[in-house]
Amino acid sequence: MYWYERLVVAVLVVAGSFVLEGFRRKMIARMQTRRGPPLLQPVYDMLKLLEKKSNVEVSALARVLPVLALICALAIALLLPYSFLRFDYDFVLLGYLFALLCSLQIGCALASRSPLAFQAAAREMALMLGYLGCFFLVILLFLAKGNVVSMKDYALDLAVIQMPIASFILLWSGRALLRIAPYDAVNADVEISSGLFSEFSGKEFAFLEAAEFIKNFAFYWIASFLMFGKYMLFGLALLLVINAVVQATSARYSTKHALRNLLLFSLIAFVDFVVLKFLGIG
Amino acid sequence: MASKTIWPVGPQHPAIDEPIFLKLELEGSTVKDVELNLGYVHRGIEKLVEGKLIETALYTVERVCGICSHSHANPFTEAVESVLEIDVPAKVKYQRTIIGELERMHSHLLWSAVMMRELGFETEFMFFMHEREKVLDVFEELTGNRLFHALNFIGTSRVNFMRDDLIRAEKKLDIDVEHYERVVKNQRGVVERLKGVGKISKETALEYGLVGPVARASGVEFDVRKADKYDAYGNVEFKLVAREEGDAYARMLVRFHELKESKRILEQVFASISYDEGIPKRSDYQIVEGVGMARIEAPRGENFHFVAIEQNKVKRVKIRTPTLANILMYSELLKGADVTDVPVIIASLDPCFGCLERVLVVEDGREENLSGREFKEKFKGAEICTGMKD
């Protein structure tokens, strides 16, 4: 893949992430009998935030980390597997970037020196113990099922039917990565304001929000790629709808309850992996 | 060993709808100590009404709270009527009962919405607010206003409800409480966040003198409507439900039950109110000197008004709101709780800080109204009922 092709695709991914966020907000609003914001509201918000100055004194680190988070998210956008284009990088690098992005977001919270953000960071660190391992295990399950070692060789179509348990766990644990109900303890606004980003405003907040949208889009892309293969665009829409419905109809789990669930899913995924890899069942 | 941190909650906080400042001392994520600071919405209503004519004072007292405005106007009116020894006609009593129960429904629906929001269940928050709008529409239809109804005059009502008004009102009140109760009970996230959280035993509830749904959820079977049978409550059948668990979940279930009972009461009142009987015209009265008191069951519990009148003017009014009775529980409940449960515990007690802000002088009994700062300076070191420490 040429560098300019990859750049074009990355730009499309970034644009798509904003539109996806707009669709998500609209869908949830409709389920709540509201009209909801315009589809391009995330874009309008971003443009507005970029022209504003930060009104809170934050440290130099808190000014740098949001930029790094955005760069990390853009790197993820560059490395996403596209079923109709060659994907040159191994999943390990992609997984590393996801973990790095979450760590940078935690770093932003800690650098902001806000007690509310500290609480959010503590919650995020606790949940990462659950969802990151679960997420990677499940992806390995899909790769094992496809009998490949790298995502560039992955060619299963409709693996969602062949691997319902793994698909369910990927979707469910992904909600912790996406920070949506019922795993939105990190963003519990009634408890800790905006959570990790409660002290950020202006450009820094814009960068962090953009990184969050790209990360969310990347998750949907990877999940639909793994579960639906060449039908991934249909799968992406389906997963978005399912997650919106679950988000609209769920209350928030406490951090303890969420972590318990995620660790249980990790255990199930591990057992499934062992059964598949070593016993050849599934 | 976990480090200690001070966690400020308020005076502006997403979890709290009205300003209050809670200084939580945390060890790790457990609350070790709580300092409660009030005074942000103290408006000096008791001082404001001193020297005012009764009708003017009634107008002011109704504005103690927006959610339970009639729950303040009613005991004030009844306290004055007790001085005049007036027994209002049945129609007036029934009308006061209608507005009182509608207010209870409104308050509990609003509470349910707020609680769902505290638990991150935004959709249910929206739906409860949607249902609340039906009650507010009925208020507007019957009294002309959504919140401050101004229904009461001394000895009579401002409005005479006619048959068509109440038929329309009854049609609008098609709120399926059972459905919402089922939805909430089937939500694992809700049940898990509420069960076992903020437990108050019956003994503690009696010791602290708790009132309202908070007390009933801890097994204290007391309701002023049953005890005093004021207004039309002597003529209607309704169940008083108390639960034993005493946790936030029990408090939620008690409020859902009260919503259902309010609907039952309204059905009975709508069926038995007389339309042939009119309401008396406003008449002049003269009170040279007199003292009256009355209590009613507001949505949050027993609301008590004491009124001293001289030459038709209010000499003193003392309001003991249900939140004032329950406020001491906040500090005790939050100690030992996890910090994530703090908004849930506060919300489950359904505080109304606008109602709560009263000055209580307990040391030497002199009648004085002081600002928060003057009070602290004057009574430095004294144990005071608001829970403030010095």
| DSSP-assigned letters across all residues of B11-33 | SSBTTBSS--EEEEEEETTEEEE
Query: How buried is residue A31: exposed, middle or buried, by Cβ count under 10 Å (0-12/13-18/19+)?
Result: middle
Q: Which pLDDT value is given to residue B385?
A: 40
- Asked if A251 and B15 come within 8 Å (Cβ–Cβ), the reply is no
What lies within 8 Å, CB to CB, of A159 at 6+ separation is A142, A145, A146, A166, A167, A226, A227, A228, A229
Residue type, A203: K
The answer to whether residue B124 scores a pLDDT higher than 70 is yes
> Pick the residue with more confidence: A40 or B339?
A40
Percentage of chain A surpassing pLDDT 90?
48
**A219-252 pLDDT, tens digit each:** 999 899 899 988 988 999 999 999 999 999 999 9
Tell me, what DSSP letter sits at residue B338? B
**Does pLDDT of A82 surpass 90?**
no
Q: Are B90 and B277 in contact (CB under 8 A)?
A: yes
List strands edge to edge, sheet with B4-9.
B4-9, B21-27, B30-37
pLDDT at A144: 86
- Write out chain A residues lying below 8 Å of B120, CB-based: 181-182, 184, 188, 190, 250-252
Q: Do B189 and A250 touch (CB under 8 A)?
A: yes
Q: Tokens 């007391």 label which residue? A: B222
Secondary structure (3-state) at B10: coil
Answer for the pair A185, A71: CB distance below 8 angstroms, yes or no: no
* Residues of chain A with C-beta less than 8 angstroms from the C-beta of B2: none
Q: How confident is the model at residue B363 (pLDDT cuts 50, 70, 90)?
A: low
Look at strands B301-310 and B289-298 and give their pairing: antiparallel
DSSP label at residue B53: B
User: What residues are paired with B286 via a beta bridge?
Assistant: none
Please tell me the distance from the alpha carbon of residue A53 to that of residue B166, in angstroms, as a whole number. 56
- Tokens found for residue A261: 């669930």
Indicate the pTM of the whole model. Answer: 0.89
> How far apart are alpha carbons A188 and A179 in whole angstroms?
10
pLDDT at B389: 36
pLDDT of B370 reads 64
**A149 membership: H or E segment, kind and range:** none
- Dist. CA B36–CA A202, nearest whole Å: 34
B192–A115 CB contact, under 8 Å: no
> Choosing among B3, B22, B112, B123, which should be mutated to test the A contact, i.e. which has the most A CBs within 10 A?
B123
**Residue B100 contacts residue B73 (beta carbons within 8 Å):** no
Exposure class string for B53-75: b at 16+ Cβ within 10 A, else e: ebeebbebbbbbbebbbbbbbbb
How do residues B259-294 score in pLDDT, each as one tens digit? 999 999 999 999 999 888 788 888 888 888 899 999
Backbone angles phi, psi at A168, to 5 degrees: -60, -45
At B384 the pLDDT is 42
Residue numbers in A near B180 (CB within 8 A): none
Q: Do B5 and A251 touch (CB under 8 A)?
A: no
Residue A33: burial class (beta carbons within 10 Å; 0-12, 13-18, 19+): exposed
Asked whether the ipTM of the predicted complex exceeds the cut of 0.85, the reply is: yes
Could you tell me if A143 and A154 are in contact, meaning their C-beta atoms sit under 8 angstroms apart? yes
Mean pLDDT of all residues in B152-162: 92
Please, what is the average pLDDT of chain B?
Answer: 89
Q: Are B289 and B310 in contact (CB under 8 A)?
A: yes
> What gap in Å lies between CA B199 and CA B184, rounded to an integer?
20
Residue B116 with chain A: CB contacts under 8 Å: 251
Q: Does A115 touch chain B (CB under 8 A)?
A: yes
The Cα A248–Cα B109 span in angstroms is 19
> Min CA distance, B179 vs chain A (Å)?
14
Burial (CB < 10 A; 0-12, 13-18, 19+), residue B246, is buried
Dist. CA A210–CA A207, nearest whole Å: 5
Closest chain A C-alpha to B343 CA, distance in angstroms:
7
pLDDT above 90 covers what percent of chain B? 66
Which one of B123, B188, B189 has the shortest CB-CB distance to A31?
A: B123
Hey, how many other C-beta atoms are within 10 angstroms of the C-beta on B366?
A: 6
| Closest among A142, A251, A22 to B183, alpha carbons compared | A251
pLDDT digits 0-9 by tens, B29-39 = 889 999 888 88
Instruction: Inspect the interface and report whether the beta carbons of A188 and B130 lie closer than 8 Å.
Output: no
Single out the residue of B198, B206, B219 nearest to residue B346, CA to CA. Answer: B198
Contact B120 A252 (CB under 8 A): yes
State the Cα–Cα distance between residues A8 and B121, nearest whole angstrom.
39
CA atoms of B124 and B130, how far apart (whole Å) = 10
**What digits encode the pLDDT tens for the residues B301-321?**
999 999 999 999 999 999 999
Q: Across residues B169-197, what is the average pLDDT?
A: 92
| Residue A141: closest CA among A251, A28, A278 | A278
E-strand ranges in chain B read 4-9, 21-27, 30-37, 152-153, 156-157, 289-298, 301-310, 313-320
Spatial CB neighbours of A13, under 8 Å, sequence gap ≥ 6: A77, A80, A214, A217, A218, A221
Q: How far is CA A218 from the centre of its chain?
A: 6
Select the residue of A122, A191, A251 nearest B190 (Cβ to Cβ): A251
pLDDT band at A145 (very low <50, low <70, confident <90, very high): confident
Which residues on chain B place their C-beta less than 8 Å from a C-beta of chain A?
A: 5, 7-8, 14-15, 29, 116-124, 126-127, 130, 187-190, 192-193, 339-340, 342-343
Give how far A25 is from chain B: nearest CA, Å. 12
Mean pLDDT, range B52-68, rounded to an integer: 93
B29: chain A residues, CB-CB within 8 Å: 119, 122
Q: Do A115 and B8 touch (CB under 8 A)?
A: yes
Confidence at B26, pLDDT banded by 50, 70, 90: confident
Q: Which of A8-17, A63-72, B294-303 has the lowest mean pLDDT?
A: A8-17
DSSP letter for each residue of B262-277: HHHHHHHHHHH--SSS
B176 Cβ contact partners less than 8 Å away, ≥ 6 residues apart: none
Q: What SS3 state is found at B297?
A: strand
Of B7, B120, B126, the CB nearest to A188: B120
